[in-house]
Amino acid sequence: MHNDSRLHAADPDEWLEAHGDALFRFAMKHLRDSASAEDVVQETLLAALQARDEFAGNASQRTWLTGILKRKIADLIRKRSREATFENDAQDGHGDSTELTACLFDQRGEWVVPQRAWGDPDAMFEQNRFWEAFTCCYDGLSPKLSTAFSLREFSGLSIEELCEILNISSSNCSVILYRARLALKTCLESSWFDNPMRRGPS
């Protein structure tokens, strides 16, 4: 993290050098497409350039730029959700949910397999292999699930904001997030928790 307290020189080349890669990676986690991610990073830096007088020196430059980037990402997804219907299940492809719930629950809605505790999350987050598994599982989500999950969890949007951006009802929003979490949980359990290599001696 950069700790510059102000944009003294407001040199755009410097922002690009110092923050471009991080902004790009943040955008990639939402959009999963490098051309779109490059575009939003460019728009972000241009917007930052125009608004540089508004930058309050008490926030870090990275935080300020990330805030602008979040808005640009949301704008892009909002626009896309209005062009193609987000609710269209036919576009989901594999890995989505109606089948997943059918595998996980019996007809009475009980879990088919026993649920196992994962242990201490903080210890888990220390492990690089956990993040490899998380990345892999997240990348496996359908675009619909990953878009909703990313806006909610990575950008930290409220459920109201999320529904508005995706142009869907609030209950639908909750269901999509539920499916995303269920898919991630299932994937993590098979790729990380069932893997005996995952921990050092314990």
Partner 1 sequence: MKFNISCQEASQLVSQQIDQPLSLMDSMRLRAHLLVCKACPVVHRNFKAIHQAGLKYALRDEAAGGACPGLSSGAKGRIAKSLRQEKGSGDTGQL
Q: Which is nearer to partner 1, 26 or 86 (CB)?
A: 26
Per-residue binding string, partner 1, 144-173, x by CB under 8 A, is -----xx-xxxxx-xx--------------
Helix (H, G, I), strand (E, B) or coil at 105: strand
Q: Is 33 in the site for partner 1 (CB under 8 A)?
A: no
Site for partner 1 in 172-191 (CB under 8 A): 174-175, 177-178, 181-182, 184-185, 188
**Contact by Cβ (8 Å): 143, 19:** no
Q: Which is nearer to partner 1, 87 or 153 (CB)?
A: 153
Helix (H, G, I), strand (E, B) or coil at 111: strand
Q: How far is the CB of 18 from partner 1 (least distance, A)?
A: 12
**Pair of tokens at residue 169:** 């009802």
- What Cα–Cα distance (Å) separates residue 178 from each residue in 38, 52, 105, 137, 169? 30, 39, 14, 15, 14
Number of residues binding to partner 1, judged by CB under 8 A: 58
Q: Is 3 in the site for partner 1 (CB under 8 A)?
A: no
DSSP letters, 39-83, are HHHHHHHHHHHHTGGG--TTS-HHHHHHHHHHHHHHHHHHHHHHH
Length of the chain in terms of residues written: 202
Q: Which is nearer to partner 1, 28 or 59 (CB)?
A: 28
Q: Which is nearer to partner 1, 81 or 150 (CB)?
A: 150
**Pair of tokens at residue 168:** 């869907």
Kindly indicate which of the ranges 74-82, 83-91, 92-100, 117-125 contains the residues binding partner 1, using the contact rule CB under 8 A.
Answer: 117-125
Query: What are 105's strand-pairing partners?
Result: 111
Q: Which residues contact 7 (CB under 8 A, 6 or more apart)?
A: 52, 55, 57, 61
Q: Is 99 in the site for partner 1 (CB under 8 A)?
A: no
Residues that bind partner 1 (CB under 8 A): 10, 12-13, 16, 20-22, 24-26, 28-29, 34, 38, 41-42, 45-46, 49-50, 101, 104-105, 108-111, 114-118, 121, 124-125, 130-131, 134-135, 138, 149-150, 152-156, 158-159, 174-175, 177-178, 181-182, 184-185, 188
